[in-house]
Structure 1
Amino acid sequence: MELTIVWAFIIAFAVFAYVVMDGFDLGIGVLFPTFKVGPERDMAMNSIAPVWDGNETWLVLGGGGLFAAFPLAYAIVLPATYPLIIAMLLGLVFRGVAFEFRWRDPRHRAFWDWAFTGGSLVAAMAQGMILGALLQGITVVNRAYAGSWFDWLTPYTLLTGVGTTAGYALLGATWLVWKLEGTAQDHAHKLAFRAMLATGVLMGAVSLYNLALRPEYRDRWLTAPEIWFTWPIPVLTAIAGLFLWRALAKRKEVAPFLLSLALFALGMAGLGLTMWPDVVPPDVTIFDAAAPERSQIFMLIGVGITMPLIIAYTGWAYYVFRGKVGAEGYH
C-alpha cells in the first residue's frame, strides 16, 4: 500500500512538472496573435526556444508511469478520452512543426504562426477537458470502460478546458514579463492582468461546480474530518492570488511567474484531495489499479535513476539560458 502511494505521488509530480513547464509554452502560443508581427513575436518565441521540447519529457514520464504503475487506470482512461488525446497529440505536433518551420520558411511565416497558435490552443483545451472528463466520472463495468465515444463532452469539461487554457495563458504571460523587455514586456504585463482575472474566476467556477458534481466530492470539502485537511487550500489560493495581483501592480518581474506556479500547485493539490484515493472516479482507486508489488519496486529503481537526471538537465538548461531575450531575439 505504501509503495502504491509513492507511485501516486511520482505520477502527480510528473504531471505537475509537465503542466507548469509545457503550460507556459502553450500559453505563449495561445497569446501569440496578440503580439506584433516581427521582433515582438520573435522575442516571445525565442524565450522558450531552448527549453520547449525538453519540457515535454514530463508528459512521456507521466503517461509512461501511469501505464506501468497503474495499468488498469491507463486501460480505462485512454478509451474514455481517445478523441481528446488524439486532438492533444495532433496539437502538440502542429505546434512543434510550426515552431521549426516559421524560421525555415519565411515566405509562409504567417501560416506557421497561426499553426503555432492553433496547435497550442487545441492542446491546452484538450488537456483541460481530459481532466474534466476524469473528474466527472468514467463509466466502468467489469474493469473496462463502458461508456460512449462522446461521454467526455459536457458543459463541465468545456469549463475545465477553458479554465486550463486561461491558466496556461497566465503562465505564458508572466513568463514573458520575466523574460522580455521594452514594449513586448509592457504588452505581456497587460495580458498577465487579464489572464489572472480570468483564471481566478474560472478556478472559482470549477471549484463550485465540483461541489455539485459528485456527493463524495462535496463531503470531502464540507464535512468533518476531511474539511480540516481541505480548508487551507482555498485560503492559500486566495492569498497567492492577492500576492500575484500586488506583484503585477508593482511591476515585479520574477515574482508573478513564481506566484502563478503556486496557484497551479494549489489547484492540483485541491484536485488531488477531491479525488483521493480514486484514480478513475468513482469506482477505481489507486490500490485497485496498481501494478504488482514486484513490478512497482523494479520500476521505482529505474525512476530513482532517471528522474534525478531529468531534473538535473532541465535545471541546467534553464540556468544556461537564464536572463532576458533582447530585442535582437537572442538570450
Structure 2
Amino acid sequence: MDLTVIWAFIIAFAVFAYVVMDGFDLGIGILFPAFKVGQGRNRAMNSIAPVWDGNETWLVLGGGGLFAAFPLAYAVILPATYPLIIAMLLGLVFRGVAFEYRWRDPAHRKFWDAAFTGGSLVAALSQGMVLGALLQGIEVEGRAYAGSWWDWLTPYTLLTGVGTVAGYALLGATWLMWKLEGEAQARARKLAFRAALATMALMGAVSLYNLALNPGYAAKWLTAPEVYYAAPVPVLTGVVALLLLRAIGKENHSKPFWLALALFGMGMAGLGVTIWPNVVPPDVTIWDAAAPHRSQVFMLVGVAITMPLIIGYTAWAYWVFRGKVGDEGYH
C-alpha cells in the first residue's frame, strides 16, 4: 500500500467535505441581501444555525492534514497565498461574529447582516483564488517558495474566485429550497437557477482556460491514452448539470441540493485529473512533498479513529435537524 496516495485521498476528501458543507453556509451569506429583512433572512439563518460551526471542522482537518502529511506543500502554498489566507480567515471571523451578534444586538442588525454577507463573500472569493493560484503554478526553488507577494493576483485566479462564489451561491440556494417553504422557497428557487447557470458557465470557462494555461494540463485532457480516462468527467458533468436544472424547476426538497453536490464532486474529479500526481503544480509531486513513512503510519492511526467520529456526529446533527424551518426554528 502506498501511504502517500492514501494520504492524498484523505486530504482531498477533507477539502471536498469542507467545500460542500461550509460552501452552502457561505452561499447563504452571499445570497443574504436577496431575502427580505425579517422572516426571510431569519429563516435562512436558522436553517444553518445548528450546523454551521461544525462544518468548519473539515477546514481544520484539511489544513492540519496538509501540514502533517505533506509539509513541503504546506511550506510552499502558504507563503504563496498569505494575503488570500489572511483575507479568508478574517472573512470567516467576521461571518462568525455577525452570526452570533445578529440575534443579540438587534439595534445594529443591518450592520451585522452586512458583516455576514461581506465575510461570506470575502471567504468564498479567497478560497477560489487560492485554488486558482495553485492551479496556475507556484514557483519553487530548492524547497522554498521563490515567487513574489503578488503572484496570486492574475485574471485566472479572479476567474476561479468568481466561479467559487457562484458555486457556493448555488449550494446555498439549493439548501434553502430544501429547508424553506412559501415565498422564501420560491425566491431561493429563482436564485438557484441563476446561480446554476453562472456556475456551469464559469466551470466551462475555467476548464478551457486550463488547456491554455499549462501544456501538461492540455496533454492530460486531449491526448491518448490519458483522454480515455479523462473523457467520462466532462460527459458526466454535463449530465449532472442538465439533471440539476430540471430538478430546480420541479423539486421542493433535497434533490437539487444533492445534484449541486454532485456537480461539485465532478469538478473535484476534474481537478484531480488535471493536477495528478502534483500537489504543487507544476513540479512538486505528492511523493516529493510527503512526510516520512513512519510519520504517515502514526498519523493514519489517529485519522482512522477520529474521522469516523467526525463523520458520525456530523451525520447525527444533520439527521436531527432534517426538517423544514419555520419562524421558531426547525419543525
* TM-score band w.r.t. shorter chain: over 0.9
- Give the aligned length: 331
Distance 2:327 2:211 in 1: 48
1:194: which partner in 2? 194
1:271: which partner in 2? 271
The letter for the 2-side match of 1:281 is: P
Distance 1:250 1:42 in 2: 25
Is contact 2:99–2:116 with CA below 8 Å preserved after alignment? Answer: yes
SS at match of 1:133: helix
1:38: which partner in 2? 38
After TM superposition, list the pairs within 5 Å mapping 1:110-149 onto structure 2.
110-149=110-149
- After superposition, the C-alpha distances for 1:13-45 in whole angstroms (9 at most, x for unaligned) are 000000000000000000000100001100000
Supply the RMSD in Å over aligned alpha carbons: 0.8
Is contact 1:43–1:330 with CA below 8 Å preserved after alignment? Answer: no
Distance 1:142 1:35 in 2: 51
SS at match of 1:191: helix
1:8: which partner in 2? 8
2:259: which partner in 1? 259
Distance 1:236 1:255 in 2: 17
After TM superposition, list the pairs within 5 Å mapping 1:33-182 onto structure 2.
33-182=33-182
Distance 1:209 1:20 in 2: 24
Q: CA deviation at 1:252?
A: 3.9
The letter for the 2-side match of 1:167 is: G
2:314: which partner in 1? 314
Choose 318-327 or 145-154, whichever is displaced more.
318-327
Instruction: State yes or no: 1:228 paired with 2:222.
Output: no
Distance 2:234 2:204 in 1: 9
Kindly report structure 1 stretches of 4+ aligned residues shifted beyond 6 Å.
none
Distance 1:39 1:249 in 2: 24
2:241: which partner in 1? 241
Tell me the TM-score normalised to structure 1 length. 0.99
SS at match of 2:279: strand
Unaligned runs of 5+ in 2: none
Is contact 2:321–2:330 with CA below 8 Å preserved after alignment? Answer: no
Distance 2:267 2:197 in 1: 15
Is contact 1:39–1:328 with CA below 8 Å preserved after alignment? Answer: no
Is contact 1:174–1:260 with CA below 8 Å preserved after alignment? Answer: yes
- After superposition, the C-alpha distances for 1:278-317 in whole angstroms (9 at most, x for unaligned) are 0000110000000000000000000000000000000000
Q: CA deviation at 1:248?
A: 1.3
Distance 1:254 1:82 in 2: 37
The letter for the 1-side match of 2:94 is: F
SS at match of 1:47: helix
After TM superposition, list the pairs within 5 Å mapping 1:292-303 onto structure 2.
292-303=292-303
The letter for the 2-side match of 1:94 is: F
Distance 2:190 2:121 in 1: 20
Distance 1:251 1:286 in 2: 42
Distance 1:297 1:99 in 2: 39
Q: CA deviation at 1:143?
A: 1.1
The letter for the 2-side match of 1:197 is: L
Is contact 1:241–1:263 with CA below 8 Å preserved after alignment? Answer: yes
Percent identical pairs in the alignment equals 79
Q: CA deviation at 1:329?
A: 3.8
Distance 2:326 2:232 in 1: 41
Unaligned runs of 5+ in 1: none
Q: CA deviation at 1:249?
A: 1.7
Is contact 1:42–1:329 with CA below 8 Å preserved after alignment? Answer: no
Q: CA deviation at 1:48?
A: 0.2
- After superposition, the C-alpha distances for 1:197-246 in whole angstroms (9 at most, x for unaligned) are 00010000000000000000000000011101100000000000000111
Distance 2:327 2:106 in 1: 19
